[in-house]
Structure formats: C-alpha cells, structure tokens
Amino acid sequence: MISASPASQVLSRQSTGVEGLDEMLGGGLLPGTLTVVVGATGIGKTQLGLQYAEAGRSQESHPGIIFDMTSRGDPQNHNDYATRMFGRTLQHADPEASPDLVDFFAAEQSYGDYLNIFRYTGKRVARGDLSFEEYQEWQAALARKLGTAIGFFYGNFARGCRRTVVDGIEPLDRKRESIQLELFEYVYQQILRKDPEWVARDLFREHYRAREAEIARVQYDPKSIGCMLLYTSAETMLHQLLERPLDEGDILANANTIIFLGKVPSPDGRIGRALHVAKHRGSACSDEIRPYAIDDRGVRML
C-alpha cells in the first residue's frame, strides 16, 4: 500500500530550484499557494518550471509533475529540456486512460509525471473563436477527460508529490473567454485545493465506499502542495509587464506570488533578460530587478 507523508510534514518553503531566486523570495515559495510566472514565449518560463519541479526530488523526495494545457498541438519541449537539464525522462500519462482501469493503491503503479489531455485537438483557446457546436464539443471532450486529470493529480499526490507545474496558457485580451483558464480554475479549486477525501469521491464515484479504507490510508494535506502556473504574455519587455494593470478577478490578482520575466536593454546596447518578483504575499521579498541567463542547466541568476 502507498503511505503518504503526514500533514504535519508541511514545508515552510519550497525551493524554486534557482540559486539566487529563493533569496529574492525570502527563502522560497509558500506551499499551498499559487505562483504565476509571466513572460513571453522563449523567455525561460518552462525551464524555470522544470527547475521548480525537479527541486521536489531533494526537498520532498518526489519530483513535481507537469500538467500541459497546450491545445493547439505546438510542442513545448518539456521532455527535451528535462533530459538536457537533469537527465530526467518524463513519463507521459495517457490522456485517453480511463481511471476505472487504474489501481490507485498498488505500490508499483505509475501515474506518469507529464499529462496533456488535449495534446492533439488543435482547438483554439477562446470561446469567441468557437462556434456554439464546437464549444459544446470541447466541453464534452473536457468532461470525458477530467477523470484522467483527477487520477493523474490524486495518484501522484498520494505517493508523495507536493508540487505541480501548469504550462501552456496562451495570452488573450479577454481573459474571461479563455477556455484554458476555465480548465485551470477547475483544476486548481476542485483538485489541488480540495480535501483529498472529496477528490477521491470525484475520482471513484460509485466505488468510493468500497475503497474507503484504502483512501483513508493515503491522505495528504492540500496546504502542502505548491502550484506554479506558467502564463504566456503578449508583452515581451519587462517594463511592459511591470506597467500591466491587474483586473479584478484576473488570475494575477488572485495569485500569492507573481514573477515577471522579460527582456531589458543592457548598457552595451544589447537586449538581455531580467526578472522581478512583483508580489509575494505573506513574506518579505526583494524589490530588485535581477538579470538572468539561460543555459543547459536552465535559468541562472547573474
């Protein structure tokens, strides 16, 4: 049987896996909260997310998992990055797998550490881009695959995983039309932050009572689980991100921690990269703008 870490073992901080960034965050990220990393394509968000996930291996004895919300089929290169940076091969979970066929309490069971349930759909990410019939089709596909997503998170959390990275969010002017953000809201509120007993009820449905004793043995504390959302912005320059207003109800307004990654002009006339911790509730943090580089090990502070 699987034995989960007791709730009393909640970490006070989670390392980002980036030397120097933890110090800017007053020691690291707060588990049980949402961190949003914002920046344009190619700025280093995925590398930072993988570094955060990998830091779980030493800190919680279990690397973090990757939930990729890309819906257009564009490659995110997670496995290539993980192999180059850490020698880690991501185990892709089957997006078509039925949770009814998985034994969630077998010690040898693997749930995978990477899942993209819409890997091959080619769907756009805004309701306004879909006809009524297409949106209904998307919702039906989502309903069929939510069981797979619930099982992916529940199985990994029950085995000791305490951090998840959500990638693939595309920028939209009208965020309330984003079907990606709609899905993320469900995952965050109804899986990551929900009492595991109720997550198990959603997963096992009519079989819950028959598995109740086993479910009780793999309890975990949702307050120990950190979530890092990688959010692609239309803005590329750091000063544009710093000037960005936070709308009421916007995902940035609801995040505990916001890290902006953007391009900055350097004194030699070139364009470099820098980051800034725009918000970090419940903790002192640096107000610096720090340059960084990306190499074969990922994001590296300069």
Q: In this predicted model, what pLDDT tens digit does every residue of 38-65 receive, in sequence order?
A: 999 999 999 999 999 999 999 999 999 9
Sign for the CA dihedral angle at 131, 133, 136, 137 comes to: negative
In the structure, what pLDDT confidence band is assigned to residue 18 with cuts at 50, 70 and 90? very high
In the structure, what pLDDT confidence band is assigned to residue 96 with cuts at 50, 70 and 90? confident
Q: 65 and 97 in contact (C-beta within 8 Å)? A: no
- Which has more pLDDT, 281 or 1? 281
**Strands across the sheet containing 298-301:** 114-115, 65-68, 163-169, 226-232, 34-39, 257-265, 271-280, 289-295, 298-301
Question: Which amino acid is located at 210 in the chain?
Answer: A
Q: 112 and 152 in contact (C-beta within 8 Å)? A: yes
Say if residue 105 is exposed, middle or buried (CB neighbours under 10 Å; 0-12, 13-18, 19+): middle
Lowest mean pLDDT among 14-18, 70-74, 113-117: 70-74
Give the C-alpha separation, 277 to 263, whole Å.
15
The full set of domains in the chain, from first to last, is 7-301 (3.40.50.300)
Give the C-alpha separation, 25 to 13, whole Å.
10
Q: 122 and 71 in contact (C-beta within 8 Å)? A: yes
Quote the tokens at residue 34.
């949402």
**DSSP-assigned beta bridge partners for residue 167:** 68
Lowest mean pLDDT among 112-126, 135-149, 180-194, 255-269: 112-126
Lowest mean pLDDT among 178-182, 191-195, 213-217: 178-182
Would you state the torsion angle of the CA atoms of residues 98, 159, 29, 20, taken in this order, to the nearest 10 degrees?
-110
DSSP structural state of residue 284: -
* Span 233-268, pLDDT tens digits: 999 999 999 998 766 567 888 899 999 999 999 888
Q: What is the pLDDT of residue 268?
A: 84
Say if residue 108 is exposed, middle or buried (CB neighbours under 10 Å; 0-12, 13-18, 19+): exposed
Q: What is the pLDDT of residue 107?
A: 67
Residues in the chain: 302
